[in-house]
Amino acid sequence: MPALVPISTEHRLDRPQRLGFLPTLAFWRRRDVWKIAGPWAATFVGLWTVLLDLFMLGFVPAWASALLAGAGPVLFVGLLERYLRARLERRKILAQTGTRRV
């Protein structure tokens, strides 16, 4: 994963996530966030399409597959954002203290 060393993280961390796990649109509209999260998102989309195929084959009831198909991507993006925010906060603290971590 590329290093998360932004010049200023305040513009991405100024709005907290709703309920602690729902995605924040202001965070995901930034091009630099997508550079970091792109490979993770591409992997998820590939695996999610395979999983949706299994849902459509009838292994899961229709109502459950609709619920999983809608909630899965939202939860994934929200949890990925939570992880990235934690990394950015850590980087911000390290930058303020002058400690360099490799």
CA angle 45, 49, 52 (to 5 degrees): 135
pTM tops 0.75, yes or no: no
Model confidence over 65-81: pLDDT tens digits? 778 778 888 888 888 88
Look at residue 6 and tell me whether its pLDDT is greater than 60: no
Model confidence over 39-75: pLDDT tens digits? 888 898 888 888 878 777 777 777 877 787 788 888 8
What is the signed CA dihedral for 23, 24, 27, 29, rounded to 10 degrees?
A: 90
Q: Give the start-to-end residue ranges of the domains of the chain.
A: 10-97
Look at residue 20 and tell me whether its pLDDT is greater than 80: no
